[in-house]
Structure 1
Amino acid sequence: MLLLSREDILSVFTMRDAIEADKKAFVLHTKGKAVVPLRINIETESKEGQCMFMPAYVGGELNMAGVKLVSYFPANAEKGIPVVPATVPLIDGTTGLVTAIIEGTTLTQIRTAAISGAATELLSNPDSKVAALFGTGGQAAAQLEALMTVRKLEEIRIFDALPGRAAVFVEKQQQLADRFGVKLIEADNPKKAVTDADVITTVTTSATPVFSNDDIKPGCHINGVGSYTPDKRELPTELLRRAGRIFVDNREAVLSEAGDFIIPMKEGLFSSDSIAGELGDLILGNVEGRRSKDEITILKTVGFATLDIVAAAEIYKKATEAGVGTVIRL
């Protein structure tokens, strides 16, 4: 069995690798090659944290299974430990043996950001120059890298609802942005962040929309990544009604978990019929993507375990080839 740490993962698995792995996962999911029960969410007695279990089996050429053990404990930030800790055991589909145990926080950050990267590559205007990123938590740095990996951006505005956090993030991440020739700018309000933005990624835990539909220009692409429970949303209803093409990563999961859709559906202001398809459908050519330069496109993701298993398998393969990781016997 191979143990793979954060450092091991980052030494063999790039953001481009993650984007391609996610595209592969979307296709396998859409083709029906994956068995993915809805994730199990268990809230702690104190109501201060959630433990989540995300199992999946992916067949086809992969033939791997696993489960992501992931938790959400907001108070961890004050303790200097991950708010969303995770671990992924990877199971060989032929023998049933656990072949690897992979540090799941890093895997989750990269594969989640790669969803936005893939959607931005597939749906945003190719000449996009300005982006906005909402949220500066544990996901934000990887989301930033994903945006810069798929588009030749000139400027990314950073907004966080908590005062001072955007400025700290900009200072900390400018070195990464310099590698891509991108200027990071602190935005002191949502309007300044999104005005004339070509691409927007939201990765917050907000219960209410984080920007106004009125401030979104024609042709913008939006990745809704953060809020993932039925009672929370980042995207305004008016934007959903205005968008020309709306895609999801996993239709069943999004319609069960995403308040961005569930809340306006209960209000009678949005219909699931407005969803053009899953990203797998788009990659396979089953549905049409962006149809004009001025069309607004949206991707809503809540994540699903196929992404973790495919990414974990790719990481395991690359680590084995590179001789990276620690071999143990239980």
Structure 2
Amino acid sequence: MTLLLDDRSVSSVLDPASLVEAIDQAIRADAEAPADVPGRLNLSGGGRFFRIMPAVVPRSGVMGLKAFFGGNGVGVRYLIMIASVESGEVLAMMDACHLTAARTAATSVVAARALGVKATRLGVLGSGLEAETHLRTFAAVGEIDEVKVFSPNPVSRERLAGRLREELGLPVVPAATTAEACADVDHVITATNTGYGGPIACESGWLRPGLHISAIGSTHRDLRELDTAVFRRAGTLVFDADPEQVADESGDIREFVDEGGSLSTVLGLSDLLQGKVALPEAPRGDLTIFKSVGTALQDMVAAELAYRRAIEAGLGTTLDNLAVPKSRR
């Protein structure tokens, strides 16, 4: 039996706190039972892109892939398939739009914890799904005293601030400028969509010393969020994927490297959680930065959790005989 899950069902069962713990545990356990996570495949043509992210996760008992695809004018769609490592049965296929944003936010929380971040005042650049899931996830696992949200669209930032203020009881206020959103906060979350070849969303001059940054929006070589001066100020820079992959896929990191920046001191989130590396005792810079492009391990862990929770809740539609073994045809 294969379970089909739409986005609403997935979002209803992925509570933030559980997802944070699942991703944290999976990354730590990966040292003992390593997942097979090859490089993602990026295709393009006809003005569209198609990205495939496969993984086999023995600890979770699943293997599968995420595909997301689209482009300007048609939007972006996300789809995950997971199968049983033991039986080969296709367990589920699900819309992974919310899941992708939720696992990204959960991983940002995992990274902040690993870096010892104790932020209570947040500045958020962006007002879309990724910004919202980050706010909901950080609110679910810690105390937040103040949130400022900036979007170049006044209606969007007012709407997000109002909704979260009412639903979560948080002091969320819209900011009129990016600089205002970054002022007097402990943690800046950049979840922007400036468009291919668009402007840089955040400048170094707006960021006070001691700040932590969760940077998740620049996941294409033509997308930018942070100017290179921000990365030069990083006392600790952590990636959730291989530095070569991040440098190839993130416009922010590509520009930093092109301008002579070095990735030699970058720490891997997995290495940090598994105790293979330690935080620097005397950081050379005055910022900590977590740069995320997402991994298939994060996707599979989130999808397996959504699958189990949906089964328990009786959600979804089941199909018989999807991908029947060749020998039985």
**Is the pair's TM-score, using the shorter chain for normalization, greater than 0.5?**
yes
Cα distance in 2, alignment partners of residues 187 and 39 from structure 1: 37
Structure 1: 4+ residue segments shifted above 6 A: none
- Aligned pair count reads 315
The alpha carbon displacement at 1:141 in A equals 1.4
Cα distance in 1, alignment partners of residues 97 and 250 from structure 2: 21
The 3-state SS of whatever aligns with 2:8 is helix
The 3-state SS of whatever aligns with 2:107 is helix
Match of 1:13 in 2: 14
The alpha carbon displacement at 1:321 in A equals 3.6
CA RMSD of aligned residues (A): 2.3
The alpha carbon displacement at 1:173 in A equals 2.7
Match of 1:199 in 2: 187
| Counterpart AA for 1:8 | S
What TM-score, normalized to structure 1?
0.87
The alpha carbon displacement at 1:172 in A equals 2.8
Alignment of 1:280 onto 2:270: yes
Q: 1:152 aligns with which of 143, 149, 154?
A: 143
The alpha carbon displacement at 1:124 in A equals 5.1
| Counterpart AA for 2:190 | T
The alpha carbon displacement at 1:163 in A equals 4.0
Alignment of 1:219 onto 2:210: yes
* Cα distance per residue 1:52-103 (max 9 Å; x no partner): 22111122x2231111121243435xxxxxx432111101112222111122
Cα distance in 2, alignment partners of residues 96 and 87 from structure 1: 19
* Cα distance per residue 1:212-260 (max 9 Å; x no partner): 2122122211011001122332122112111111101012431321222
On the 8 A contact 1:28/1:34 being kept in 2, the answer is no
Kindly tell me: are residues 136 and 74 of structure 1, through their superposed partners in 2, closer, same or farther at Cα, counting changes over 3 Å? Answer: farther
| Counterpart AA for 1:209 | I
The 5 Å alignment of 1:111-130 reads 111-123=103-115, 125-126=117-118, 128-130=119-121
Cα distance in 2, alignment partners of residues 199 and 218 from structure 1: 11
The alpha carbon displacement at 1:6 in A equals 2.9
Q: 1:187 aligns with which of 175, 188, 191?
A: 175
Kindly tell me: are residues 124 and 239 of structure 1, through their superposed partners in 2, closer, same or farther at Cα, counting changes over 3 Å? Answer: farther
Unmatched 5+ stretches in structure 2: 323-329
The alpha carbon displacement at 1:200 in A equals 0.8
On the 8 A contact 1:3/1:326 being kept in 2, the answer is yes
Match of 2:94 in 1: 102
Kindly tell me: are residues 158 and 246 of structure 1, through their superposed partners in 2, closer, same or farther at Cα, counting changes over 3 Å? Answer: same
Unmatched 5+ stretches in structure 1: 77-82
The alpha carbon displacement at 1:308 in A equals 0.7
Alignment of 1:241 onto 2:237: no
Q: 1:67 aligns with which of 59, 65, 68?
A: 65
Cα distance in 1, alignment partners of residues 220 and 312 from structure 2: 39
Higher mean displacement: 67-76 or 154-163: 67-76
Cα distance in 2, alignment partners of residues 68 and 232 from structure 1: 21
Seq. identity, %: 30
Cα distance in 2, alignment partners of residues 195 and 283 from structure 1: 30
The alpha carbon displacement at 1:291 in A equals 5.1
